[in-house]
Structures are given as structure tokens and as C-alpha cells.
Amino acid sequence: MIKDLPNTTISKVSKELVQIREEGGAVALGRVLTLLIETDFKDLEDSILAANEASRAHPCRIIVLANNEKATKQSRLDAEIRVGGDAGASEVIVLKAYGEASSDPESLVTGLLLPDAPVVAWWPGIAPAKPSASAIGRIAQRRITDAAAQKDPHAWLSNLAKNYAPGDSDFAWTRLTLWRAQLAAILDQPPYDPVTSVVVTGAVDSPSTDLLAAWLEMKLKVEVSLVRTVRGKAVAGIKGVKLIRKSGDVEIVRNVPDVATLIQPAQPTRDISLPRRLRRDCLIEDLRRMDSDDAFGKLITKGFGTNRQAPKVSNKK
């Protein structure tokens, strides 16, 4: 069910929520957090879809704040309340703020937060330069951004390294979970001779490639070379990792979506599942913890510095 509230106020939205709950039996019991989404009008429905899917693993109240200061000079707030099949396992409140009504995001959402529940802020698109100091970020325990959605992903990571605060996280890091797990599993198998160097290959616009290179350099304490490639139609993001050892190189290469080839010395070449993670997958993982992601914090503040060079495109495709 979708309830439209044109030209409304936060007080009226709150009262309507109570009425819907009393009449339809939709309750906030079992909601474990409030997810605040700050986005633009263009990305509104895609963001809600990802949040709805994530809410099936983490039941929550979703508050979507779509700002459009330039749309009209008139101060106006339109709202929607979505429950039932239109809201996944959550209840969704969509706030479309125009003109001066969009100037104070914190006041718009404060009265709608679930009591005594943690708050997570998510920027699916362009994020504030310092998330923890933004109007929405100040009231959130966790703050989720996406470097790949910024105008300059590499500059964004450098900026985040300077402005990082405990509780910050980024989808560029969350997209690495499957890669990190696969690489850790390889290194746990014999032979156990050390890695002497690493080559990481990825698209020129892939911030996850930067973070993976920095993570391997920090963990293995070896030189990691970055090879930038033109973004391909079939495979975006990370294309491959080569671990160089005396006993023979180990290489993971992803030439097609969702599947990578594992090449190891004295072993048959085989295919492994290595899909590119969707927004939904990243959001589900990030909502599993309300405390700070210390691994990401250490990486972005201490390990990322050596890989901040401007991206260069190689001749590889």
C-alpha cells in the first residue's frame, strides 16, 4: 500500500504512520534499525528497491530523503508512506523536499526515527565530502557511501582517507569481500612459500581495484603493482590478481561476468564463482554490523596512501 501525502509536514506524516499502523496492523515491532537514504530524484526508486531487498535480512524503517533545491523556489514537502508488499520487510517513508524545505535534512527525519534503535545513513549517489559531519551523518552510527558513484572515484577515496571517522564504510570495500575470501583461501593452501610481489589488474575507474591493491600490500607487506585497463563491456571493476611466488604464480582472472579462472602451479585450471556484487548484496553486508569496521578504517587511513596515484590506462583490454 502506498499513501500519498502532498504538500505536507513531518507532524502529519508521523500521525499518518500511527493511523496506518492502527488500522492495518503494520507495526514497527521487530524493526532493528532506521535506514536513512539521501539521494536525488533520479535514483530514488532504484535505491528504494535495493533497501527493500536488504530489509528482508534486516527489518527496518526506511526513510528516503530526496532533495531538489533548484526544482522550485516554493518551499514544499511531499511524502509517501509505503507498507506491505510495496515495502519489503520494512516500512518506507519517502520525503521529497523542494526549495527551502530541503535546507535542513536533520529536522526532516529526526521526528521519524525509530526510538532506541541504531541509525544508518546511506548515500547511493553523490555523498558529502565529510559524511560524519553532514546533517544526516551526524545522527547515524554507520555511514555508507559508494566511491564508484562519485565523479572521481580515486579522488573520493583520497578524500575519505583524510576525513574518515569511525562508522564510515564504502561499497568499494564491501565489493571486495568475495575477492578477499578467495585470496585468503588460496594462501591457506600448500605450498606456504611467501608471496614476493603482486599484480592487481582492474578498470581505470574502479575504486575497488585501488583498495584491493592497498589491502594486499598492507597484509602481505610486498610491492603491489596496479595495472589499469579500459573498462570493458563484459567485465567492469577488478579483472585479475597475480600472486608471484618462487613455487609458481597463482592467478585469478575474470574475463566474463560472475566467473573467474583460477590458475595454480601443478594443478588443473578451474573456474570459480566470483560475481560482481549488487547494491542489495553490499547493503545487506554493511547492515550486519552497527559498530565500526576497523579493518576498513585501518586500510583507508594507513594502507591506502601508497596507492593514491592518478589512474593510468594500460594497453590491456
The span from the CA of 202 to the CA of 313, in Å, is 10
Name the band, by pLDDT with cuts 50, 70 and 90, for residue 310. very low
Q: Residues 257, 234: contact at Cβ < 8 Å?
A: yes
Residue 311 has pLDDT above 50, yes or no: no
8 Å CB contact between 258 and 276: yes
Whether 36 shows a pLDDT value over 90: the answer reads yes
User: Is the pLDDT assigned to residue 274 strictly greater than 70?
Assistant: yes
Q: Is the pLDDT of residue 308 over 80?
A: no
What pLDDT shows up at residue 306?
A: 47
Q: What is the pLDDT of residue 316?
A: 52
167 burial level (CB within 10 Å; 0-12, 13-18, 19+): buried
Distances (CA, A) of 32 to 14, 113, 120, 150: 19, 12, 11, 29
* pLDDT at residue 86 in the model: 65
User: What is the rounded CA–CA span in Å between residue 293 and residue 295?
Assistant: 6
**How many other β-carbons are positioned within 10 Å of the β-carbon of residue 303?**
19
% of the chain at pLDDT higher than 90: 71
Q: How confident is the model at residue 18 (pLDDT cuts 50, 70, 90)?
A: confident
Q: Determine the average pLDDT of the residues in 235-256.
A: 92
Grid cell, residue 123, equals 548515500
- pLDDT on residue 303: 81
Is pLDDT larger for residue 306 or for residue 248?
A: 248
Confidence (pLDDT) at 32: 86
CB 207 within 8 A of CB 276: no
- pLDDT at position 313: 44
Asked if residues 39 and 121 have their Cβ atoms less than 8 Å apart, the reply is no
Pairing of strands 142-145, 168-170: parallel
- Taking Cα atoms as reference points, which of 79, 101, 25, 91 lies closest to residue 55? 91
What is the pLDDT at residue 31? 80
Mean pLDDT on 62-70: 82
258: left (phi over 0), alpha (psi -120 to 50) or beta: left
Query: Which of 109, 151, 157 has its CA nearest to residue 134?
Result: 109
Q: What is the pTM of this model?
A: 0.90
pLDDT tier at 307 (50, 70, 90 boundaries)?
A: very low
CA atoms of 201 and 263, how far apart (whole Å): 15
Distances (CA, A) of 84 to 17, 87, 204, 281: 13, 6, 42, 22
**182: its cell numbers:** 578467495
pLDDT of residue 190: 87
**Predicted confidence (pLDDT) at residue 249 exceeds the cutoff of 70:** yes
- 58 secondary structure, DSSP code: S
* pLDDT beyond 60 at 53: yes
Residue with cell 585501518: 298
Compute the distance between CA of residue 236 and CA of residue 204 in angstroms, rounded to an integer: 9
**What does pLDDT average to over the chain?**
89
Quick one: the chain helix, strand, coil %, rounded to 5? Answer: 35, 25, 40
Distances (CA, A) of 17 to 7, 20, 23, 35: 16, 5, 10, 16
- Whether the per-residue pLDDT at 234 is higher than 60: the answer is no
